[in-house]
Amino acid sequence: MAQLTPLELFKYLSDETRLNIVLLLRELGEVCVCNLCSLLNQSQPKISRHLGMLRESGLLLGRKQGKWVHYRLSPQIPAWAAQVIEQAWLSEQEAVQALACAQRAEKGTGCSASLC
């Protein structure tokens, strides 16, 4: 995999679905494909296609567990790219946390009142 460039990062994040995936992973840490489908109200093939693009870019790592793959942001992301993601997350924090609250409720882990 080649070094991620700013142009490539912004191309990946210019798609709403991919941006939402990255922001949810920033909020939740690791998320199963099935949960991303539910949270984003998108089909599994569509989410998997976007996850594959993000994985190939080096932004995400996947871990297979049974028939599902769990994704998280890669710790190998260049620092400048991590800062871009962090700033995007900060600007959309309330919306992302509302989605994350739904994810935590599905998992039965509860949700902080400040997030709901």
**Token pair listed for 90:** 């900060």
In a domain, 92, yes or no: yes
The predicted model scores a pTM of: 0.86
**Token pair listed for 15:** 């798609």
In a domain, 112, yes or no: no
In a domain, 116, yes or no: no
CATH number, domain with residue 13: 1.10.10.10
Residuewise pLDDT in 10s, the chain (116 residues): 568 999 999 999 999 999 999 999 999 999 999 999 999 999 999 999 999 999 999 999 999 999 889 999 999 999 999 999 999 999 999 999 998 887 666 665 444 333 32
In a domain, 113, yes or no: no
Residue 15 lies in domain = 6-107
Nearest-angstrom CA–CA distance, 3 and 90 = 25
Domains: count for the chain: 1
